[in-house]
Structure formats: structure tokens, C-alpha cells
Amino acid sequence: MPIYYFHIRHADRIVHDPEGSEFPDLQAALHEANESLRELVAHALVSKQSSVPLGIQVFDEDGNLAVEVDIDAVIPQIRG
């Protein structure tokens, strides 16, 4: 199974995923990235963290950006 890396994008930095996770395909990785971003944002808001994740960049095993998930796509209420 392919390995995908989820790098979490904040306004001022990117937190890199050094290990990655196996998924059957990009669609499965994208689904997990959407769910993960929702959970990360919820956790940041509930715990009153100063930095809320703005997105997740999904990279493939070769280091290529496969897809990016933005906060406004997973939480439509954020859109201005």
C-alpha cells in the first residue's frame, strides 16, 4: 500500500509528518485528511490554542504534493 504524509499547515509554520501512513489509495488518504483536519481544528478551538491548523498537505512517497485540504473546505462555516 502507498504511504502518504500529512503535513499540517498553520499560518506561521508547517508541522511535518515524518512517518506517514499507509492507505489503499489517494481517495482514502484524502478522506482521512479531511477527518483529521476537522478533529485538529476542534481540538485547537476547545483547548483555546493560539494556533489553529489551516490545512493539511498530503504528500506521496516520492515527496510530491498529491492534494491539499483547506479548513474552509472541511468546515464551511469558516468561509467569509
How confident is the prediction along the chain (80 residues), in pLDDT tens digits per residue?
999 999 999 999 999 999 999 999 999 999 999 999 999 999 998 998 888 899 999 999 999 999 999 998 887 766 55
Query: In which domain, by residue range, is 25 found?
Result: 3-78
Instruction: With CA atoms as reference, report the closest residue to 29 among 54, 60, 52, 55.
Output: 60
- Judged by DSSP in three states, 35 sits in helix
The distance from CA 76 to its chain's CA centroid, rounded to whole angstroms, is 16
Structural domains counted in the chain: 1
CA distances from 28 to 9, 18, 42, 79 (A): 20, 19, 21, 25
Q: How far apart are CA 60 and CA 76, in angstroms?
A: 26
